[in-house]
Amino acid sequence: MRKPVHRLSEEAFRGCCLDCQKSLEIVRPYIIGFYERIRESPIEGLRKLSLEELFEYYRLLDDIAHLPIGERLAGMILQDGEISGHLPTIRAYYKAFLITAEKKLAEGILRAEDPWGELEAFRLLPRYEALVKAYLREVRLRKDETLAFLGSGPVPFTLLLGARYGVKGIGVDVDPEAVRTSRAVVAKLGLQQMVRIVEGDEGTLEDLPWDALLVAALAEPKERIFRKLREIWASKRPPHPLCYRTYTGMRAILYEPVREEQVKGFRKLKELRPPGRVNNTLVFVVPADGP
């Protein structure tokens, strides 16, 4: 895979939001350049890279996603005729990057003499920590309550970090390989008493004991998931709002945001965007016909 060359400087970009067209013209070549590089590099090639090499590839996209710009300019950039057609490829690459990085981290944890040290060294861990802290500040779970996480993946960061705060968790994932890996990671970290991993989709949640639910940003298909969750909410009536992660503003270059029609039947209570380089926004919702 061809090594990326970049630096998109925030300082060079700062202040340009006063002129949206100028800002668009500054950032457009970087986005198109990133697309041109990944178009020449098959996604399968990511597996051959080390974690450090993966992060080097990801860095330009990360810089673009975290530019200090507002919603209006972000929308203008992402809807630009020269950019919008490339978004499916860019987003597919980002998803593959995340999955590949998690798998490589899991392999490292399972090999390590110090598995917690391996986890702590992961570059993106502070972002997950910020998300978990923001969530737990909003949803104050009691010691006897359980957090379910739909789309927990091969390394269930949210549940691993939640366990540090005394939160018990259940991870649900439809991918058998991710479930096997996740169970092994949980065991290696010695968290079997705090974290349970279950294979299944959103329908599995009907038969599991939980009090709060968090939906991963990459969990798909969104419309089917939320349709089923409306049914589950009507029967289970959990004590805490449903929370899902999504991508907003310029971060939407990374992955398609959850659309309003996909969460039909739910009413938004609150939206939280943790500060710093955190990719996801937390959205808290309750049934539209609820209190």
In contact, 107 and 129? CB cutoff 8 Å: no
What span, in angstroms and rounded, lies between the C-alpha atoms of 214 and 169? 11
pLDDT the model gives residue 238? 95
Predicted confidence (pLDDT) per residue in 77-100, tens digit = 999 999 999 999 999 999 999 999
H or E stretch covering 13: helix 10-13
Place 13 in a pLDDT band, splitting at 50, 70 and 90.
low
H or E stretch covering 170: strand 168-173
CATH fold for the domain made of 126-287: Rossmann fold (3.40.50)
pLDDT the model gives residue 102? 98
Amino acid occupying residue 288: A
Q: Which two tokens stand for residue 195?
A: 């974290």
Nearest-5° Cα angle at 188, 187 to 189: 90
In contact, 214 and 157? CB cutoff 8 Å: no
Reference 137, options 291, 272, 229; nearest CA is: 272
What span, in angstroms and rounded, lies between the C-alpha atoms of 193 and 211? 17
What span, in angstroms and rounded, lies between the C-alpha atoms of 231 and 252? 29
Give the three-state DSSP class for 206.
helix
Predicted confidence (pLDDT) at residue 166 exceeds the cutoff of 70: yes
Predicted confidence (pLDDT) at residue 291 exceeds the cutoff of 60: no
Q: What's the chain's average pLDDT?
A: 93
In contact, 188 and 109? CB cutoff 8 Å: yes
Place 42 in a pLDDT band, splitting at 50, 70 and 90.
confident
Give the three-state DSSP class for 188.
helix
What span, in angstroms and rounded, lies between the C-alpha atoms of 121 and 263? 36
pLDDT the model gives residue 8? 60
Start-end ranges of CATH 3.40.50.150 in the chain? 126-287
pLDDT the model gives residue 126? 97
What's the whole-model pTM score? 0.93
Predicted confidence (pLDDT) per residue in 97-156, tens digit = 999 999 999 999 999 999 999 999 999 999 999 999 999 999 999 999 999 999 999 999
What span, in angstroms and rounded, lies between the C-alpha atoms of 257 and 259? 6
Place 224 in a pLDDT band, splitting at 50, 70 and 90.
very high
pLDDT the model gives residue 2? 53
Place 21 in a pLDDT band, splitting at 50, 70 and 90.
confident
